[in-house]
Amino acid sequence: MSIHNYTTAIFLVNSSVTAHYEPDPVNGPKAKRETFKTFDSSLKKGDIISVPSTTRHQVTTAMVDEVGVSVDLDTTEKVRWVIGKVDLVAFEKVKAQEDALINKMKNAEAHHRQEELRKKLLASLPADALNGTDLVNVALPAPEKPASE
């Protein structure tokens, strides 16, 4: 037996290598399903992986659709390696922290603007100009304090 496709030869010499399919897109035209190889036995259906491509940085993403698939050792298609699993949990955690910080900054900025405008208004009026106006004495809400304080 001779090897026709050297990109599948690793499956002959190392049983730890597994193959995974990329799924067809849900919407839009059917894409070519491609098999990728990896040593990462933790990959499961639905995981996002980075794989080699012909794009600008030579990397793109794929979604694992099936794990542990059989590889046709006589295929003429090149079987490429998975670069790695994309850690979406860590990404979502950082994004949520950033969103919370942005909301706190927006609240602080709004409170600061209210205070500055109030000071300008009160400074531009004679001392007794707002006598009898109860609205002036209503306190503004304090800005949100970070949970660590």
Instruction: State the Cα–Cα distance between residues 41 and 85, nearest whole angstrom.
Output: 11
Rounded Cα gap, residues 106 and 116, in angstroms: 15
Q: How far apart are CA 131 and CA 133, in angstroms?
A: 6
Tens of pLDDT, residue by residue over 17-54, are 887 666 556 666 666 778 899 999 999 988 999 999 88
Q: What is the pLDDT of residues 83-118, one digit of tens each?
A: 999 999 999 999 999 999 999 999 999 999 999 998
Question: How many angstroms separate the CA atoms of 57 and 64, rounded?
Answer: 21
Beta strands in the chain (DSSP E): 18-21, 35-38, 48-52, 59-63, 66-67, 80-81, 84-85
Tell me the per-residue pLDDT of 134-146, one tens digit each, with 9 for 90 and over: 665 666 666 677 6
The pTM score is 0.62
Strands 80-81 and 35-38: parallel
59 pairs with which residues across the strands? 52
